[in-house]
A and B are shown apart, each in its own frame.
Chain A
């Protein structure tokens, strides 16, 4: 028995304070093939990212939380196209009208119904669904990051940047700091050499270092300073969106506070949007506007920060929250200790991935994967404890996660009629 697949995507989470949508990620999937056997044949996939959807608005911070192996780092890299996705879309700066169309398309596809995976026979798509697929395709050709050609991607590189976790290996040790920071400018042929050096000085000051630091080598700096150099490098091309991949996990607490304060100031000054990836819930709470919780490649919960932390609904989120050690010996908490280890993403449990460790597991959990449903306004959970009610207006849209393996490759315009099987566009 498989869940009725539905491909409807909830339209972001509404618009936050009327800000424009910067990135709308839909059904993102990344499978890494496992090769084995005598001829290195394709025997399976590591499902690193398995149907992830969320929205990022201008100037906001979205926190992406999860433990190791949940795929959050991969999501960051996918958005920057450092890795190519297996399927899914990331719509870049869609206008509200386009967003509307996208939502309607997905809803159509959902209603039109695609057969469940593994069901054998492929039911033909309804008229509306095929039309919707074609429309979606058209939109994707224009707006999806993954369909852009090399030249366009290179131009966009300046707008979408990344800061890495490890301040020790993200800066090339044999280059001077000025070369490291100027490199993006060099690659994009921005300005003359003098102008670039001037900009380097400016950037160093932005992150709280002094221009004389430009003449030193990375190994002469502490971890916090190196991370700041990494941030300066990311700012060089005046981005509008930065993926922060665990930027403070390798730093001490007081240094972390410094870096976080700098990041916040820069966000306010330059209207940056952040995707803050971390496994430290306390840090996420301090910086994010909205939070996405991932487990084993899927989103289990998605909400505004305060809502998530005061009312965590998914059992995994609750366990995560209770597991955080609090620096206060007076607080006595009931710890929810999960049994067992995180399963391997190469062989995830069936149905809901979390069912092997869930304290509230039910029989249905191992068979059917729960859809991501909006349980409260702006608060989405993927759990059978919160079965979706009939979709209605604002509150009840639903998203599936059990759609099958990779769709037709990105970049090839698909003719809807020729899609076979339940492939998410």
Chain B
């Protein structure tokens, strides 16, 4: 990754009469607000999540609703305990159950309600004389629900989490973990590509020689030549392999690159046993995909499809039984070699995509060998490897240093432009939101209090909480700004305040705020707020 531009110091040594160009330059014009007509990918309606603990019922989310449109980045902002992470986990049913429970709500994704079946899964029995509620769960149904939603996670909704150093399995190499994700979600495509690759050896030889010549020329020439090699071999990952072989040849100064490449190409032949192994793998992946679509149609139509599931399950079982011989240690290694190599180089490609400078080394390495910033990139590449429609990022840069955070945010911006995934970014740092997000939803105590475009939120914050937050952030560019703190503290969610949950701390509290919960009203194009100070039209679902 290269620097934006070299710094020119204002003037060396003593004479610094004219100030250096400040890193903070002048503001630009605000973009015009236009109604958003892109299709909605995720529609969350009235999400209610409670945690049933010994001390009582923690009402973590009390009716959260928002829409995520294709290609936009929605920032979910709030302080500790406001429920933003809980929102993300509720959408994909990752709430630990017990003690938590998504009580009600709808999450529409690809026309399916991910939370279908909530009502059947648990019964609630309040315990007299205490604040506790006993929850009787039908674990069979809960597990089934998990399996259903599991079909959507990964390829539909990908997630990255806060602590990159703890998010990966420490005993597997990076390429193993990346490869696992790739195979799981794009296995058929990968295997098809592999099996269709019949390298045209003479063409490969010619292309390899061209590659060898290009080593001395430049990086771009190398890339182009490597791509040509890949085309000759009918396998793009071989092109990647060739490129890195060339790079290594350049540093080590060896001269027989062309021979090496050709030899590697000739080794690509797939034997009979390997081919049947691959076919079996592909079949497994196909069944997995069909299962997933069964789950989705279940969620779409709102009823179980036991027949289809049973049939698929039986097929899978038979297939697995037939493939037992492939699991024997010696055989497994030999028979899965082409697939492993293919996934390795695809993993390298994925790592290239997130601008890691030495992807081969990183792919071979283990999580503990990498720094936080690197690991977060690897996580991003794992999340994006499946081409998801939605990427949910839970505080992805909080654990990183400022300069590394800048790198990652830059990366996310670029990926956003390039790939166009919708991103749900959860953070407590309003500055990060300003950098990356298109729209913002501000949460407080389990409710969304304001939702607007980034520009509107920062120039015209409506809700008193948003205003309080903005007033308390120290600004590098405003040194004399007085830091205003919000009086009081975050409410106990077991006994939340009545009506508007913010009213105990609000400087503009009115009597009605204590009695009723303010509805979300529209206060401008795309600017919604839940506050009795404003009398706009209520938001229509």
Contact = CB atoms under 8 A, between A and B. Distances in A.
Q: Do A and B bind each other?
A: yes
A313 B18 CA distance: 12
B80 A252 contact: yes
A149 B428 CA distance: 46
Interface string A314-355: 010011111111111111111111111110000000000000
A281 to B, nearest CB: 6
A320 B403 contact: yes
A260 B483 contact: yes
Interface string A385-397: 1111100000100
Interface residues of B, number: 68
A305 to B, nearest CB: 7
A331 B469 CA distance: 19
Interface of B: 1-10, 12-14, 16, 19-20, 22-25, 27-28, 30, 79-80, 357, 371, 373-374, 401-407, 409-410, 428-435, 454-455, 458-459, 468-477, 479, 481, 483-486, 489-490
A329 B434 contact: yes
Contacts, number: 206
Contact of B455 (A315, A322, A329, A342): A329
B57 to A, nearest CB: 19
B14 A389 contact: yes
Interface of A: 67-68, 222-225, 252-258, 260-261, 279-283, 285-286, 305-306, 309-313, 315, 318-342, 359-360, 375-376, 385-389, 395
Given A282-B475, A325-B429, A331-B477, A341 B374 contact: yes
Contacts of A386: 9, 12-13
A312 B7 CA distance: 11
A319 B19 contact: no
Given A334-B4, A337-B403, 13 more contacts: A223-B80, A253-B428, A255-B489, A257-B485, A321-B476, A323-B403, A326-B24, A326-B434, A327-B433, A327-B470, A330-B458, A360-B6, A376-B14
A385 B9 contact: yes
Contacts of B16: 311, 313, 375-376
**For the complex of A and B, 7 pairs with smallest distance between CB atoms:** A325-B431, A257-B472, A323-B406, A258-B485, A252-B79, A322-B23, A286-B474
A359 B3 contact: yes
A388 to B, nearest CB: 8
B4 A327 contact: no
A340 B403 CA distance: 10
Given A320-B403, A359-B3, A386-B13, A326 B486 contact: no
B9 A360 contact: yes
Given A67-B402, A223-B80, A254-B486, A285 B1 contact: no
28 contacts: A67-B403, A222-B489, A222-B490, A253-B469, A254-B468, A257-B486, A260-B483, A280-B474, A285-B476, A285-B479, A310-B22, A312-B20, A325-B434, A326-B24, A327-B433, A328-B475, A330-B27, A332-B25, A337-B410, A338-B403, A341-B371, A342-B403, A359-B5, A360-B7, A375-B13, A386-B12, A387-B13, A388-B13
A261 B471 CA distance: 13
Contacts of B371: 341-342
A268 B2 CA distance: 46
Contacts of B12: 385-387
A388 B468 CA distance: 47
Contacts of B468: 254
B373 to A, nearest CB: 6
A200 to B, nearest CB: 21
Contacts of B470: 327
Contacts of A318: 7, 20, 23
A326 B14 contact: no
A309 B20 CA distance: 11
Given A286-B479, A333-B24, A375-B13, A257 B6 contact: no
A339 B458 CA distance: 31
B244 to A, nearest CB: 19
B23 A321 contact: yes
A389 B15 CA distance: 11
Contact of A328 (B374, B405, B458, B489): B458
Contacts of B7: 315, 318, 336, 359-360
B198 to A, nearest CB: 41
A329 B436 CA distance: 9
Contacts of A67: 401-403
Most buried by A among B2, B13, B357: B13
Contact of A334 (B1, B23, B434, B483): B23
Contacts of B20: 311-313, 318
B212 to A, nearest CB: 29
